[in-house]
């Protein structure tokens, strides 16, 4: 072969190598992204795999793709995957790689947000509560204890996602470093630099890293070398906020990383909605500017179990079990009018996939189902806490006894006779978050974080005082200190601080497996109780195991398990959420018995009945 053909062959090989090279970069001159060298704009939506059963991931992602999206933005909750230090769980509903594969099957690119802090209205913003076992730790800073835990976590997580980076043949085009850090008090650039260095050390220099902040958080939330993006909603001044982004990124694409399609709900608040016209009008304005956008949320999902977070807005505001968010795809995965309107806007700027959007999934309605009383919670204390209780002079927090979520029982005895009603109280709103008080097994009332309702006791010296503490979700946003749970200061009876406590960390979930017979074999007094008690039933669905919504009329507040799965909290008495979403995959089909168990914390209705509805009830608040 002569020199001419040889040079031509080398040139062709060079072109092929260039064509095969995958990349996602910024074109500073044209102020746009390039995907494989071609101008690219992402229109993305947020979905949290931790809020959707894994059997339904593909369904939700397919609906997102058919809506015209080309990317999905997703958080990785650290506490969801590392429940105890050095113990990792990436199985089942926690299988991150399976989620990435499902997104790839729908031809969706991925914008990954691994934190370590994510907010997301998720328990403690995704940080593991076991970090607080070192009570002086300063979260989200260059505190050595915090950095050591972060480094250990990222040395597990980041190598796992490394093969899924876009330039490695995967679908992850970018990763966010931290989350809205400019809204945090610390403003610790050493911490941000440490994270950026860690990401690049474990993933390489090709990876595209970015930050996200509200318009007032850019000074402390940005870092040179990390692409600065902003977030805002339909009612905000888009021109003003994008101008602020331009100060930090004068040459690059405009990006709204969280365009709010709806909003979250708090227990005791009103159900949040954002009207379709304001959302679509603002979305069209963003796209007409040529900006990139991620819609938060596109599908909200559910805070199953104990995973809801809380906000601090001068008061403690726990988030509801439903994370419907008034999003374009409902909590149950159904297209809404908002979705069709958004799809219509997207169609003006890029081609939609061929084919119609999938129809809403079938729902079922049946019942009522009558639950039987299994007994007071105190009757099952020996199985809820099989180990010996902790004996301590003054009460400890959840974190000090390694109780991450759920419930902790504090027990002591009355130090003296109380012939006159005597107030039980605590200083500085130190009940975190809700206490159910019983004296010799009789329910006395409730103490609640931020509430000043008085509780008075009468009784004999030596009577058993039980205080069941509920963790309603650690603060995920708006608070600059660690949110410890339990009794943060001693309870005071009259003017006497109560001492000599026994602490029982309760592992209720371990008893809720459908095969567990403890409630059937335990002989106990089954008089109609007031206060924390267990109820259960078996039921059969009338046909295929379709989605449904559990409605608990007359019940007060508690936790629900179906076939051993922790469905989440109900708080019928306070609202706004009145029903709980029950995904069809949790249920057994026609003829098979399903189990339901309730922990009712206050008062059950006389008939102890529940119903299953074919539509949700999310908007009824009792003020």
pLDDT tens-digit readout, 86-122: 999 999 999 999 999 999 999 999 999 999 999 999 9
How many helices (H) and strands (E) the chain has is answered by: 12, 35
| Mean pLDDT along residues 37-61 | 98
| Mean pLDDT along residues 418-426 | 96
Q: 578 versus 530: which is more confidently predicted?
A: 578
Active-site residue, from 249, 258, 399, 470: 258
Active-site residue, from 180, 249, 600, 602: 180
| Mean pLDDT along residues 592-619 | 96
41-346: CATH class: alpha beta
527 pLDDT band (50/70/90 cuts)? low
| Mean pLDDT along residues 565-572 | 98
Distances (CA, A) of 225 to 33, 200, 210, 249: 16, 11, 8, 11
Where in the chain are the domains?
41-346, 366-373+528-613, 387-506
Query: Is 452 noted as a catalytic residue in this protein?
Result: no
Structural tokens at position 56: 């339904």
- Tokens 């159900």 belong to which residue? 271
Query: What stretches of 44-141 show up as alpha helix (H) in DSSP?
Result: 57-66, 78-81, 96-105
Neighbours of 132 (CB within 10 A): 22
Query: Is 258 noted as a catalytic residue in this protein?
Result: yes
525 pLDDT band (50/70/90 cuts)? low
Question: Using CA atoms, how far apart are residues 399 and 562, in angstroms rounded to an integer?
Answer: 28
Query: Angle at Cα 184 formed by Cα 181 and Cα 185, nearest 5°?
Result: 135
Residue 288, H or E segment: helix 276-288
Q: What is the pTM of this model?
A: 0.94
Structural tokens at position 245: 């982004």
Which range (6-15, 334-343, 564-573) has the least confidence? 6-15
Homologous superfamily of the 366-373+528-613 domain (CATH)? Galactose-binding domain-like (2.60.120.260)
- Which of 44, 63, 134 is CA-nearest to residue 102? 63
| Mean pLDDT along residues 481-509 | 96
One fold for both 366-373+528-613 and 387-506?
yes
Which range (242-246, 354-358, 558-562) has the least confidence? 354-358
Neighbours of 26 (CB within 10 A): 17
5 pLDDT band (50/70/90 cuts)? low
11 pLDDT band (50/70/90 cuts)? very low
| CATH 3.40.1260.10 corresponds to the domain 387-506 | no
| Mean pLDDT along residues 360-367 | 96
């Amino acid at each position: 072969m002569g020199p001419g053909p040889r040079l031509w062959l080398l040139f062709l090989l060079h072109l092929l190598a260039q064509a095969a090279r995958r990349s996602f970069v910024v074109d500073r001159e044209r102020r746009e992204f390039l995907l494989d060298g071609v101008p690219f704009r992402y229109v993305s939506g947020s979905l949290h795999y931790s809020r959707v059963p894994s059997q339904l991931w593909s369904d939700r992602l397919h609906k997102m793709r058919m809506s015209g999206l080309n990317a999905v933005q997703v958080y990785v909750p650290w506490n969801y995957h590392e429940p105890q230090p050095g113990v990792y769980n990436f199985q089942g509903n926690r299988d991150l790689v399976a989620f990435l594969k499902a997104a790839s099957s729908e031809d969706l690119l991925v914008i990954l947000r691994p934190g370590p802090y994510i907010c997301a209205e998720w328990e403690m913003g995704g940080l593991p509560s076991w970090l607080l076992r070192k009570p002086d730790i300063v979260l989200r800073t260059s505190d050595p204890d915090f950095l050591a835990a972060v480094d250990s976590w990222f040395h597990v997580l980041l190598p796992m996602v490394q093969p899924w980076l876009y330039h490695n043949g995967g679908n992850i085009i970018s990763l966010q470093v931290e989350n809205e850090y400019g809204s945090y008090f610390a403003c610790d650039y050493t911490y941000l630099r440490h994270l950026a260095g860690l990401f690049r050390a474990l993933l390489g220099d090709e990876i595209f890293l970015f930050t996200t902040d509200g318009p007032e958080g850019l000074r402390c939330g940005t870092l040179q070398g990390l692409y600065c993006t902003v977030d805002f909603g339909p009612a905000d001044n888009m021109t003003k906020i994008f101008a602020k982004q331009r100060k930090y990124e004068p040459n690059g694409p405009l990006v709204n990383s969280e365009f709010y399609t709806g909003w979250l709900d708090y227990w005791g608040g009103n159900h949040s909605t954002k009207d379709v016209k304001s959302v679509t009008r603002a979305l069209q304005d963003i796209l007409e500017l040529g900006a990139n956008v991620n819609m938060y949320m596109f599908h909200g999902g559910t805070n199953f179990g104990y995973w809801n977070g809380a906000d601090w807005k001068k008061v403690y505001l726990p988030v509801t079990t439903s994370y419907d968010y008034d999003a374009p795809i409902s909590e149950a995965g159904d297209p809404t009018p908002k979705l069709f309107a958004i799809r219509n806007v997207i169609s003006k700027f890029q081609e939609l996939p061929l084919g119609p959007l999938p129809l809403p999934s079938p729902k079922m309605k049946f019942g009522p189902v009558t639950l039987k009383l299994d007994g007071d919670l105190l009757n099952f204390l020996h199985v809820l806490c099989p180990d010996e209780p902790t004996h301590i002079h003054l009460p400890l927090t959840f974190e000090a006894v390694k109780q991450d979520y759920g419930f902790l029982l504090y027990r002591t005895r009355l130090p003296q006779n109380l012939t006159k009603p005597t107030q039980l109280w605590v200083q500085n709103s130190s009940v975190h978050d809700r206490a159910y008080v019983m004296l010799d097994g009789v329910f006395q009332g409730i103490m609640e974080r931020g509430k000043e309702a008085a509780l008075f006791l009468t009784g004999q010296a030596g009577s058993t005082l039980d205080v069941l503490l509920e963790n309603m979700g650690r603060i995920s946003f708006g608070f600059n200190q660690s949110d410890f749970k339990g009794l943060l200061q001693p309870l005071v009876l009259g003017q006497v601080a109560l001492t000599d406590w026994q602490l029982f960390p309760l592992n209720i979930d371990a008893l809720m497996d459908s095969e567990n017979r403890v409630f059937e074999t335990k002989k106990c007094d089954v008089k109609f109780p007031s206060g924390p008690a267990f109820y259960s039933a078996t039921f059969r669905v009338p046909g295929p195991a379709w989605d449904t919504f559990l409605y608990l009329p007359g019940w007060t507040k508690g936790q629900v398990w179906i076939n051993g799965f922790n469905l989440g909290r109900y708080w019928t008495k306070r609202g706004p959420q009145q029903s709980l979403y029950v995904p069809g995959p949790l249920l057994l089909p026609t003829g098979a018995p399903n189990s339901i168990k309730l922990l009712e914390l206050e008062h059950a209705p006389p008939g102890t009945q529940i119903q299953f509805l074919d539509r949700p009830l999310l908007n009824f608040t009792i003020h």
